[in-house]
Chains A and B, each alone.
Chain A
Amino acid sequence: MSSFFDRFFGGRPTGSKDEAKSRLKTVLVHDQVGLTPAQMEGMKLELCSVIARYADIDKDHVELRLERINNRLAVVSSFPVRRVLSRPAAI
């Protein structure tokens, strides 16, 4: 819905309900899957150590969460890269 005011003032800020909805979706996926926070942390650390062989990553800002995308469970992650290693460590 675009209104008179939206057009002039660039849209109203979205209400808190969108935040409620997205937080709920995240927490429900985790509730339903039943992976413990410790298991999620373990997955994150293991993935970090694999990626670290190829790139210098910012381990403090790694994100890893479960999401439901098109009705399928997905592991969604982000590993911020500082630089790619010129000579990746041997596997």
Chain B
Amino acid sequence: MSECIVITSGKGGVGKTTTTANLGVALALMGKKVAVVDADIGLRNLDLILGLENRIVYDLVNVIEGECRLKQALIKDKRVETLYLLPAAQTRDKNAVSPDGMKKLVAEMKKEFDYVLIDCPAGIEQGFKNSIAGADRALIVTTPEVSAIRDADRIIGLVEAAELPEPNLIINRFRAKLVQRGEMMNKEDILEILAIPLLGLIPDHEDIIITANRGAPAAFDEKSVVGEAYRRIARRVTGEKDVPYVALEEPDNFWSVFKRWIGLAPTREASQ
């Protein structure tokens, strides 16, 4: 059974593209045949995060307008055999695509792939409408900040209005130490407000910057904690139950245990 999942957020800069890239890599590493689609027409970036920017010949708009076949536009990743990218057009704008065009494209892609992941542009207008048109379900990416959560709430409403099933939430850029100090909303606070099921929690980590610099998503790196967080999200996406969350804190040392003991630091459970 194949599935089209749109990764969306409302607000820009919360990590949709990074999430799409890492989830694509992680699912492909599990042996699934995956296509990641950059639907951000005119602001192409998924290719860069995946390190495939030098191999683009055709793009999504070329396929939709019939200027090339789907197979000609798909870029095959050389690191993991079952991962393909359909890049966005860089010199066109979002009006070059319609919801109907996207629906047809997604239907064609679902015949070939287990998962079609759509990296949705920021905003709630044409690009968003195109991106959700062919999707079977949505993943909402947010960060623990008031602006991102407000926009996520708006997007959840629009996803439900489009009659997609209840979306799942990914909380990105989670900072355990700020949460411990009570200066950042924790997982429960965010879930209380947004009231949709959580799919995963991604720590705020320098790996994201470094892997973007290199064009090699963290999900490829077995030692990366962020990579592991994405690999676990991928397992949950495939329906695996009870995948534990990654540890979001520094390992214990003498001082952290001592501080917790005298009450200077909150207990571990309180922080996540």
Closest to A21 in B: B189
Binds B, one of A26-34, A46-54, A56-64, A74-82: A26-34
Residues of chain B within 8 A of A1, CB atoms compared: 263, 266-267, 270
Residues of chain B within 8 A of A14, CB atoms compared: 182
Least distance between B148 CB and chain A CB atoms (Å): 10
Beyond A1-B267, A28-B150, 14 additional contacts (C-beta under 8 Å) are A2-B263, A3-B262, A4-B263, A5-B262, A17-B183, A17-B185, A20-B146, A23-B146, A24-B150, A27-B146, A27-B150, A28-B153, A28-B193, A31-B154
Asked whether any CB of chain A lies closer than 8 Å to the CB of B1, the reply is no
Least distance between A9 CB and chain B CB atoms (Å): 11
Asked whether any CB of chain B lies closer than 8 Å to the CB of A16, the reply is yes
Q: Are A5 and B183 in contact (CB under 8 A)?
A: no
Residues of chain B within 8 A of A3, CB atoms compared: 262-264
Closest to B183 in A: A15
Q: Are A16 and B266 in contact (CB under 8 A)?
A: no
Closest to B260 in A: A3
Residues of chain A within 8 A of B153, CB atoms compared: 28, 31-32
A3-B262, A4-B263 known; A17-B184 Cβ under 8 A: yes
Least distance between B195 CB and chain A CB atoms (Å): 10
Q: How far is the CA of A3 from the CA of B189 in the complex (A)?
A: 22
Asked whether any CB of chain B lies closer than 8 Å to the CB of A6, the reply is yes
- List residues of B (158-215) whose CB comes within 8 Å of A's CBs: 179, 181-186, 189, 192-193
Q: Are A21 and B154 in contact (CB under 8 A)?
A: no
Asked whether any CB of chain A lies closer than 8 Å to the CB of B12, the reply is no
- Using an 8 Å CB-CB cutoff, how does the interface string of B243-272 with A read, 1 for contact, 0 for none? 000000000000000000011101100100
Residues of chain A within 8 A of B42, CB atoms compared: none
A28-B193, A31-B150, A31-B154 known; A17-B264 Cβ under 8 A: no
Q: Are B154 and A5 in contact (CB under 8 A)?
A: no
Least distance between B211 CB and chain A CB atoms (Å): 29
- Contact pick for A18, options B145, B179, B182, CB 8 Å: B182
- Using an 8 Å CB-CB cutoff, how does the interface string of B29-61 with A read, 1 for contact, 0 for none? 000000000000000000000000000000000
Which 10 residue pairs spanning A and B have beta carbons closest together?
A3-B263, A15-B182, A4-B263, A15-B183, A17-B185, A4-B262, A20-B146, A16-B183, A28-B153, A21-B189
Q: Are B186 and A17 in contact (CB under 8 A)?
A: yes
Least distance between A88 CB and chain B CB atoms (Å): 43
Closest to B184 in A: A17
Least distance between B154 CB and chain A CB atoms (Å): 6
Least distance between A72 CB and chain B CB atoms (Å): 15
Q: Are B146 and A24 in contact (CB under 8 A)?
A: yes
Q: How far is the CA of A79 from the CA of B182 in the complex (A)?
A: 33
11 pairs, CB–CB < 8 Å, chain A vs chain B: A1-B263, A1-B266, A5-B262, A6-B263, A15-B183, A16-B182, A20-B185, A21-B192, A24-B193, A31-B150, A32-B153
Closest to A20 in B: B146
Q: How far is the CA of A21 from the CA of B184 in the complex (A)?
A: 10
Least distance between B62 CB and chain A CB atoms (Å): 38
